Amino acid sequence: MKIGMLTGGGDAPGLNSVIYALTRICTRKFNCELIGYKFGYRGLYENNFVKLTPESTSGILHKGGTILFSSNKDNLFDYLVDDGNGNMVKKDVSDIAVENLKKEGVDILVILGGDGTLTSARDFARKGINVIGVPKTIDNDLGSTDVTFGFDSAVNVVTENIGRIHTTAESHHRVFVVEVMGRNAGWIALHAGIAGSADIILIPEIPYTLENIVKKIKERDAAGKNFSIIVVTEGAKEKGGQAVIGKVVSDSPDPIRFGGIAAKISHDLEPLINHEIRSVALGHIQRGGETSPADRVLSVRYAYEAANLIAEKKFGNMVCLKNGKMSYVSLEEVIGKSKFVDPMGKLVNAARALGISFGD
């Protein structure tokens, strides 16, 4: 067999771990050849790939990012191409990708990505390609699996940085508003906020009011705690308001980029309290650095399950983790199923029991 692999969407710690593990497992188990397409689906369209061997992937298990590079703009079913007259138009070029797979003799395509990337994986499966999906996103918002690799690493990074901010906040009696990734799902803010001893956690699933944020800060002041840490998901919303849009990337399949909520809260809050406020947007630092041990192990488990699906010829599926056990689910059932924080869930209730406010 010949196996192709690609990584699409935003990068996440654990991508290299899956590449490392799947290359070794499939080489040893099937004695097969593996290639990796560069820059996600764009590489599939341009037939731009590298050979993947135990030697070429040596030493990448712990590294963040992806040695295959990635793109979150390239949907081959709606791809920007030159119409021959110098005009850029959207066109379905997926047949070119299919022909490239046939030309290289690729029997199976393993696709590592989130909802957008896996949507195209499903569409290629519908065209007859033997596809296996592996779920990836630091946001942990894919509904068909309990956890995605990259999430634990991001939580570790955010928790560490909250700890660093904590010391300067306490030293200067300031309020810090720390903006984290997650888009419309508050998983990173919730987990890192609890782990980092945040005083207020603001997530998209629970709209906040400035009045309730002020109330919590004044409660802390009255108790002699003259500083506060607020952790906010980039897609969080004030009650009756909308998420703050940082920019619009017009040539992206998902053009809306959230950003700026921490700065907005700081601006709106400072006249209402007797503290200086600083805002910090952690941004892409959450994606970088070494992959956490938990994500390395999870990635190896995903890779092993993907190899099992290859052996059993169970194509058109995505590997997943359900109730602590590896399994798989049809790509047809994966798309559009997001996973959000339950405002009445046990983890939110546990945070409230600790005295953490959600601004509601």
Asked if residue 143 and residue 90 are part of one domain, the reply reads: yes
In a domain, 349, yes or no: no
Residue with tokens 């601006």: 267
What pLDDT score was predicted for residue 33? 97
Q: Is the pLDDT of residue 72 over 80?
A: yes
Asked if residue 245 and residue 307 are part of one domain, the reply reads: no
What pLDDT score was predicted for residue 257? 87
pTM of model > 0.85: yes
Q: Is the pLDDT of residue 105 over 80?
A: yes
Asked if residue 257 and residue 124 are part of one domain, the reply reads: no
Asked if residue 310 and residue 249 are part of one domain, the reply reads: no
Using alpha carbons, list the distances in angstroms from residue 83 to 75, 89, 205.
17, 6, 43
Asked if residue 178 and residue 86 are part of one domain, the reply reads: no
In a domain, 355, yes or no: no
> Average per-residue pLDDT in the chain?
95
Q: Lowest-pLDDT range, 67-76, 208-217, 322-331? A: 67-76
CATH (domain of 323) = 3.40.50.450
Asked if residue 270 and residue 222 are part of one domain, the reply reads: yes
Asked if residue 194 and residue 211 are part of one domain, the reply reads: yes
In a domain, 14, yes or no: yes
What pLDDT score was predicted for residue 316? 98
Q: Provide CB contacts within 8 A for 23, sequence distance 6+.
A: 34, 52, 53, 54, 57
- Which candidate in 139, 152, 199, 295 is catalytic? 139
What pLDDT score was predicted for residue 79? 93
In a domain, 353, yes or no: no
Total domains present in the chain: 2
pLDDT digits (tens, 9 = 90+) for 261-320: 999 999 999 999 999 999 999 999 999 999 999 999 999 999 999 999 999 999 999 999
Residue after which a domain boundary falls, among 270, 288, 306: 288
Report residue 41's pLDDT band, with 50, 70 and 90 as the boundaries.
Answer: very high
The average pLDDT across 333-349 equals 95
Residue-range definition of the domain harbouring residue 279: 151-288
150 burial (CB, 10 Å; 0-12 / 13-18 / 19+) is buried
pLDDT digits (tens, 9 = 90+) for 174-229: 999 999 999 999 999 999 999 999 999 999 999 999 999 999 999 999 999 999 99
Asked if residue 274 and residue 166 are part of one domain, the reply reads: yes
Q: Is the pLDDT of residue 246 over 90?
A: no
Please count the other Cβ atoms lying within 10 Å of the Cβ belonging to residue 308: 16
In a domain, 343, yes or no: no
In a domain, 77, yes or no: yes
The average pLDDT across 106-129 equals 96
Q: Is the pLDDT of residue 250 over 80?
A: no
Query: DSSP state, 151?
Result: H
What pLDDT score was predicted for residue 249? 80
Of the CA atoms within 13 Å of residue 277, those in its CB half-sphere come to: 21
The answer to whether residue 141 is catalytic is no
Asked if residue 48 and residue 97 are part of one domain, the reply reads: yes
Q: In 3D, which of 52, 218, 18 has the Cα closest to residue 133?
A: 18
Asked if residue 277 and residue 176 are part of one domain, the reply reads: yes
Question: How far, in Å, CA of 321 to CA of 328, rounded?
Answer: 8
Asked if residue 320 and residue 218 are part of one domain, the reply reads: no
In a domain, 52, yes or no: yes
Task: Please report the DSSP string for 258-316 in residue order.
Answer: E--HHHHHHHHHGGGSSS-EEEEE-GGGGG-SPPPHHHHHHHHHHHHHHHHHHHTT--S
What pLDDT score was predicted for residue 82? 87
CATH (domain of 221) = 3.40.50.460
What pLDDT score was predicted for residue 298? 98
In a domain, 345, yes or no: no
DSSP E strands in 41-184: the ranges are 49-52, 79-82, 88-91, 108-113, 131-135, 175-180
pLDDT digits (tens, 9 = 90+) for 73-85: 899 999 989 888 8
Asked if residue 104 and residue 15 are part of one domain, the reply reads: yes
What pLDDT score was predicted for residue 256? 85
Highest mean pLDDT among 89-93, 112-116, 343-347: 343-347
